[in-house]
Chains A and B, each alone.
Chain A
Amino acid sequence: MTRAPLSLPQVRGFLKTERTDRWWIAPLLVLAGFGAFIIYSTWAAFQGNNFFIGGVEQPGVQQLLSPFYSPVIWDPRGVHSGHAWLGELPLWWPAWLIFSPALLILPFPGGFRFTCYYYRGAYYKAFWGDPASCAVGEPALRGTNYRGEEKFPLIFQNVHRYFLYVAIIFIGLLAWDGYQSLWHYNAAGQTEFGFSVGSIVLIANPILLGAYTFGCHCWRHLIGGKHDCLSCSKSRQSAYKQVSWLNQRHMLFAWISLFGVAFTDIYVRLCANGTLTDWRIL
Chain B
Amino acid sequence: MTTPTSPSQNASRTVHFRVWRGNREGGAFANYPVTVSEGMVVLDCVHQIQATQAPDLACRWNCKAGKCGSCSAEINGTPRLMCMTRMDTMPPDQSVTIEPMRSFPSIRDLVTDVSWNFRVKTKIKPFKPRKPDNADGSWTMMQVDVDRVQEFRKCIECFLCQDVCHVLRDHHKHDEFIGPRFLMYTAALEMHPLDTEDRLKDLKDNDGIGYCNITKCCTKVCPEHIGITDNAIIPMKERVVDEFYDPITRLFRMFKPRN
Contact = CB atoms under 8 A, between A and B. Distances in A.
Contact of A146 (B115, B167, B221, B242): B167
B103 interface: yes
Interface in B200-235: 208, 210-217, 220-221, 229-230, 234-235
B103 A8 contact: yes
B2 A231 contact: no
A155 B208 CA distance: 12
A221 B211 contact: no
B235 A221 contact: yes
B105 A150 contact: no
Interface string A16-59: 01111100000000000000000000000000000000000000
B77 A135 contact: yes
Interface stretch (B5-13, B42-50, B131-139, B172-180): B172-180
Nearest to B215: A121
Interface string A223-261: 001101111000001000000000110000000000000
Contacts of B215: 121, 124-125, 130-131, 134
B76 interface: yes
B217 A134 contact: yes
B29 to A, nearest CB: 10
Interface stretch (A136-144, A185-193, A263-271): A136-144
A130 B169 CA distance: 12
12 contacts: A3-B105, A6-B24, A6-B106, A130-B215, A131-B166, A134-B220, A142-B171, A146-B170, A147-B211, A148-B167, A161-B241, A225-B235
Closest 8 CB pairs of A and B: A150-B210, A6-B105, A18-B77, A19-B77, A134-B217, A231-B142, A121-B214, A148-B211
Interface of B: 1-2, 24, 74, 76-79, 91, 94, 97, 99-100, 102-106, 113, 115-116, 119-120, 123, 142, 144-145, 164, 166-167, 169-175, 178, 190-193, 195, 208, 210-217, 220-221, 229-230, 234-235, 237-239, 241-242, 245-246
